[in-house]
Amino acid sequence: MTATAPASSEIDADAVRAQVEAFCDRNWDPDLTVEQWWHLLAGAGYSHPMLPESAGGLGYGMDQFALVSLVLAERGVLGPPGGLGRMLAAPTIAFHGTPAQVDRYVPEILDGRVGWCQLFSEPNAGSDLASLQCRAERDGDEWVITGQKVWTSGGQVADMGMLLARTDPDQPKHAGISWFAFDMDQPGVEVRPLTEMTGRALFNEVFIDEARVADSALIGGLNNGWRVGNTTLMVERASLGSSGRKPMELIPGPKGGVLDSRVGDFVDRSAGATMSGVPPLGVDMWWWLVDMARKNGSVASRVLRDDLMRLYGLIEINRLSIQRAKGGSSSAAAPNIAKLTMSELNRSFRDIGMRVVGADGMLMGESDGQSGGHIAEVALFSPAPSIYGGTDQVQRNIIGERVLGLPREPGPPRDTPFSQLPKN
């Protein structure tokens, strides 16, 4: 089997569709292992087509990227590796890393050999991330890391982490931070899962006690981590806010436990299937709700039909806004607005879903009730998106201060050294 795809981004939608369909015809075999299939996707540039060719992508725009995902979903094949490596680490390293760093880290992300997590938030540095206190101290060609991180999605199955640490406490708090590619499998790193009310453990605490990271793993330059981290956050907000039909994703890396599994065993999913406890809300889930409302008769309610159409409109507006943002023709607040829209989508799917299924919305088991527990999971998970990735309040502050030009909240001068700022 071969895995080839054109490298030009100057092609129309019909050409992209034809190329992805031809790729699937040539290469899809349900008896392949997950690792083999991901290797083929990565080799064709379809793991992350928006990355530049030098980083294993195709240089596609958002429209073409979304079309690749749509065609893979329509063909019923497994999608590229899930998780934060492909979503956040690969684009960040592709943009800020040296060619050697791109070659070192990105290929093993795109073909699923390595899973990543995000080591940003701390107990006293969530909404005000620049207040982070995890420290990195130079020791020859290495840095010694000590500190605590929290709300680390997928930390228990990650091989690597995107680590923000303070490398110079005598600089202003935004200036003395660096971004590292951090090895999670080493002495001095302890991951403690945090069980949510869904019963899952998507988030974790991570305790780091004199762990080490090579200086060659410092991405974007010393004390430039705030700029690099903002790239990560911008991609995160846009990705969290995006919608549209996507293929099934699985957890990458050896800890995900699927690399040697038969790929065909994972492609039969319902619209309510989840990965790592995050309900995949989008147009597929909307149609699933509509079909359920038709079956149980709740669609007879004019109010419910109005709300279903309002939800569909929100899904479409969000999809089109994301495409416009990725095309560079929208406001600087587009990623923040997308993040706020995602929070609203979760609340809307929760509320409308509960009205469709009624009392069955209290059942969590996959064999329970008409929804198989999916609506209950959406309901229990729904508060999380308004908190993680920057709270809704933080997004509104960013829009107000950086886009609308409203006054900043009072505080110490921005050039105050971090070591002189009041803590906690």
> Could you list the active site residues?
236
Q: Residue 415: how many CB atoms within 10 A of its CB?
A: 10
- How far apart are the C-alpha atoms of 320 and 186, rounded to whole Å? 43
- How far apart are the C-alpha atoms of 162 and 165, rounded to whole Å? 10
- How far apart are the C-alpha atoms of 162 and 228, rounded to whole Å? 10
Q: Of the candidates 61, 62, 75, which has an alpha carbon nearest to the alpha carbon of residue 20? A: 75
Distant-in-sequence, close-in-space partners of 247: CB < 8 Å, separation ≥ 6:
69, 72, 73, 77, 78, 79
Q: How many residues does the chain have?
A: 424
User: Can you state the percent helix, strand and coil of the chain, rounding each to 5?
Assistant: 45, 15, 40
How buried is residue 68: exposed, middle or buried, by Cβ count under 10 Å (0-12/13-18/19+)?
A: buried
* Backbone phi and psi for residue 24, each to the nearest 5 degrees, phi listed first: -65, -40
Q: Give the rounded distance of the alpha carbon of 352 from its chain centre.
A: 25
- How far apart are the C-alpha atoms of 178 and 175, rounded to whole Å? 9
Q: Which residue has the tokens 């509320």?
A: 351
- Read off the amino acid at residue 236: E
- Locate 215 and state its tokens: 């200086």
* Residue 164 · residue 193 · CB < 8 Å: no
Can you list the positions of beta strands (E) in 3-125? 116-119
* Residue 174 · residue 422 · CB < 8 Å: no
* Residue 129 · residue 121 · CB < 8 Å: yes
